[in-house]
A and B are shown apart, each in its own frame.
Chain A
Amino acid sequence: MIASSARTDVAPAQRTETELALAGLWRVVVLNDPVNLMSYVVLVFRKVFGFGEVTARRHMLEVHEQGRSVVWSGLREKAEAYVFTLQQWHLTAILEPDETR
């Protein structure tokens, strides 16, 4: 897994700005694609997040019917790790700031 320590050094002022932007909570969002099988997406959700069948299926249907589903929310570093893993499984996953909390 890619560690955040791989980031390049930046000037203090710039770093503060970046840290502020990356602080807080982030959402992992999975977007719909017309290719991956529903059963495949359910399996990936179960594998990556440890969801039960019912929860995984609910998220899959949300992706399928509404085009997106928020599958996880939390700190940036862990959210990045989840996005990376979902991308390894060829799902379209993005990060967005969680402004609901």
Chain B
Amino acid sequence: MKRVEVKLGLPVVAPLLDVIKRTVDDLNGHLAVPQSLQDLDEELGAAWKGELLDGQNKDCRRFLALFDSEFFVSGMVVFDDDNAESVLRACAAIRLRLRQRDLEGLPDDVLEGAGVDVAKLDEAGQKSYMCYVFLATLQELIIQHLDAAILEG
């Protein structure tokens, strides 16, 4: 099994975890992307949404489990075949929620082009944007090193 060990800077990442945990709490009961399927009857629509929410919650729990007590000693997180998909999806969900909740004032093209002037954001906005970038970095690392495992899994 391929493993990717990443040593993170504790002084940088630890303050972001509060924002990430709050965002995960915020996702509880809400889909990161509201479902938009027409022609589903009420019962099927509810089952559809429920199953998506279950998956989203499991992925987020899996992601938060990376930052256990050991992380606060070593600063290390480990990605492998077993958690890569869940972590990727959780990062996507949290980034989408951060965008909706904390970064909604930023135009799409500025956000997509990474042209955000961080100094112009207030302190909370800066923290949210740092989380947004941090989660994208984790996604890039996983895609770069574990894409074969994800495609075969």
Q: Which residues of A contact B (CB under 8 A)?
A: 2, 4, 6-8, 21-22, 33-37, 39-40, 43, 46-47, 80, 83-84, 87-92, 94-95
Known A-B contacts A40-B88, A40-B143; the reply to A88 vs B150 at CB < 8 A is no
Selected contact of B47 from candidates A2, A40, A47, A95, CB within 8 Å: A2
Interface pair B92/A46, CB less than 8 Å apart = no
Interface: B73 (CB within 8 A): no
Q: Which residues of B contact A (CB under 8 A)?
A: 31-33, 35-39, 41, 43-44, 47-48, 51-52, 55, 88-89, 92-93, 95-96, 99, 108-109, 111-112, 136, 139-140, 143, 147, 150-151
- In the assembled complex, the Cα of A92 lies from the Cα of B151 at a distance in Å of 21
- In the assembled complex, the Cα of A94 lies from the Cα of B37 at a distance in Å of 6
Selected contact of A90 from candidates B96, B109, B111, CB within 8 Å: B96
Interface pair B147/A88, CB less than 8 Å apart = no
Known A-B contacts A8-B41, A33-B96, A87-B52; the reply to A94 vs B36 at CB < 8 A is yes
Interface pair B136/A90, CB less than 8 Å apart = no
Contacts of A39 in B (CB 8 A): 139-140, 143
A65 to chain B, nearest CB (A): 12
Interface pair A95/B32, CB less than 8 Å apart = no
Selected contact of A88 from candidates B44, B89, B151, CB within 8 Å: B89
- In the assembled complex, the Cα of A88 lies from the Cα of B93 at a distance in Å of 10
Task: Name the CB-closest residue of B to A1.
Answer: B51
Task: Name the CB-closest residue of A to B103.
Answer: A35
Contacts of B32 in A (CB 8 A): 90
Interface pair A43/B33, CB less than 8 Å apart = no
Interface pair B33/A7, CB less than 8 Å apart = no
Interface pair B44/A2, CB less than 8 Å apart = yes
Interface pair A7/B96, CB less than 8 Å apart = no
Interface pair A35/B95, CB less than 8 Å apart = yes
Interface pair A37/B150, CB less than 8 Å apart = no
Interface pair A87/B43, CB less than 8 Å apart = no
Interface pair B95/A6, CB less than 8 Å apart = no
Interface pair B96/A95, CB less than 8 Å apart = no
Contacts of A6 in B (CB 8 A): 43-44, 47
Interface pair A80/B139, CB less than 8 Å apart = no
